[in-house]
Amino acid sequence: MTPSPQTRPRLGASACLLGEPVRYNGGHSRCRFLTLGPLAGMVEWVAVCPEMELGLGAPRRPVRLLSDGRLVDRDGDTDHSAALAETARRVLPSFEDLDGFVLKSRSPSCGLFGVPRYSAGLPGERTDGQPVDRRGRGAFAEALTAAHPHLPVEEEGRLNDPVLREHFVERVFAHARLRELLSGPWRPRDLVDFHSRHKLQVLAHDPRLYRELGRVVARAGTADRRALAEEYRRLFTEALAVRPTRGRQVNALQHVLGPFGHRLSPERRHGLAGAIEDFQAGRAPMSVPVALLLHDARAENVHYLADQTLLEPFPAALPLRHHL
C-alpha cells in the first residue's frame, strides 16, 4: 500500500490555541497560524485542555508549577498533581494515532519549555512569591512527552520561528505518511517504496540514521514484520527530529540533481546548480532550487526523483520554505 498524497495528519493541540474558551479567565489564546492559515484545513484537530479534563471548569482559579513538579492552585491550598497524573493515564493512550501536538507556551500545564516554577518550600528557595526559575515544563507536557517520546511536539510560541515551523510541519506530515502505511495491510515492498521516497529527506536530517534505515529496509521480507516496522518507525522519527542543516540540505539537493543533470542542457544544469549554490550561500530560500528541481524532474519523467519527499515534504499550498 502506498500512502496517498492527500495524507491528513491528526494533530493534537492545547484547546485554547484552537479558540476554545477554556483558559482560567474564561478566554482563549487562538493561534492564527493553526486556525486561520492554510494548515488549518489540512489536518484533523484533536483539542485537549488538561485543566478542563481535571474538572476545574472555566473560569477557575489559576494554577502554578512548583519547583518539585507539582501543580497547585496559585494560593497553594489545592494540589492537582495526583488528579493530573490520573487524567494523563486516561487520556494519553488515545494519542497513539496522533501525528504531532502543539502546546500552549508558558502554561504550567501545557508549556513545553521555560515555564516559571515557584518555590516548593525547599531549602534555599526564594520566598518572595517570585518564580525560582523559568526552566520548567508543564505537568501535562511532561506526561505527554514521556508517554510519546517520538511524537513531534512543539509549542505555539516557537512556531513563530520560520525554521522551527517548517521543521515541525515536515515532521508531522512524515509521521502521518508512515502511520498511514503501517496502520494498513502493508507488504515488505511497500516499506521499501516508502523508504525510497523518503531517503533524501532523511539524508538532509541525519546521514547516520539514513544509513541505519537503509540497513533496516534491506531486511524487509526476511525479518519479523512487526519488529521491523517498530525499528523503522523509531529510527525514522528519530532522524526527522534532527533539525536539518543547510549543508545537509544542499547535499541532499545535489543527490537529486546528480542522476538526471546530464539529460539537461548545459544552461539548464548550470541554472539548477546556481540555484542550489544561492541557497547554500543564503541568497535564496530552499523553495527556489526545490521548485526548479521538481519541475525538471517531472519534465524529464524521472519519477524516482520527482516523488522524493525532500522536494515536497508537505502540501505545496503551505508556504513554509520561503525563508532565507
Binding residues (CB under 6 A) for ligand SF4: these are 14-16, 22-23, 49-51, 104, 107, 109-110
Q: Hey, is 240 helix, strand or coil?
A: helix
- Nearest to ligand SF4 of 82, 218 (CB atom): 82
132 in Cβ contact with 119 (< 8 Å):
yes
The distance of closest approach from Cβ of residue 115 to ligand SF4 in the complex, given in angstroms and rounded to an integer, is: 10
Sheet bearing 71-73, strands edge to edge: 71-73, 63-66, 115-118, 133-136
Total length of the chain = 324
Looking only at the bridges linking them, the beta strands covering 44-48 and 10-14 are parallel
CB nearer to ligand SF4: pick between 110 and 202:
110
> Minimal CA–CA distance to 110: which of 78, 74, 154, 72?
154
CB of 38 vs ligand SF4, minimal distance in Å: 23
State the nearest-atom distance from the C-beta of 54 to ligand SF4, in Å: 9
Choose between 104 and 148: whose C-beta lies nearer to ligand SF4.
104
Closer CB to ligand SF4, residue 107 or residue 119?
107
Handedness of CA 173, 178, 184, 187 (dihedral sign): positive
Nearer to ligand SF4, 139 or 292 (CB): 139
Q: In what order do the strands lie in the sheet with 44-48?
A: 44-48, 10-14, 100-103, 153-155
Q: How far is the CB of 81 from ligand SF4 (least distance, A)?
A: 14
Measured between alpha carbons, how far is 222 from 133 in angstroms, rounded to an integer? 52
Nearer to ligand SF4 among residue 30 and residue 234 (C-beta): 30
Q: Which is nearer to ligand SF4, 109 or 308 (CB)?
A: 109
Cα–Cα dist 276/319, whole Å: 19
The whole-angstrom separation of Cα 52 and Cα 209 is: 40
Least separation in angstroms between residue 117's CB and ligand SF4 is: 16
Containing H/E element for 73?
Answer: strand 71-73
Least distance from C-beta 261 to ligand SF4, angstroms?
A: 50
Minimum CB distance to ligand SF4, residue 49 (Å):
3
Instruction: From 236, 193, 226, 263, select the one nearest 1 (Cα to Cα).
Output: 193
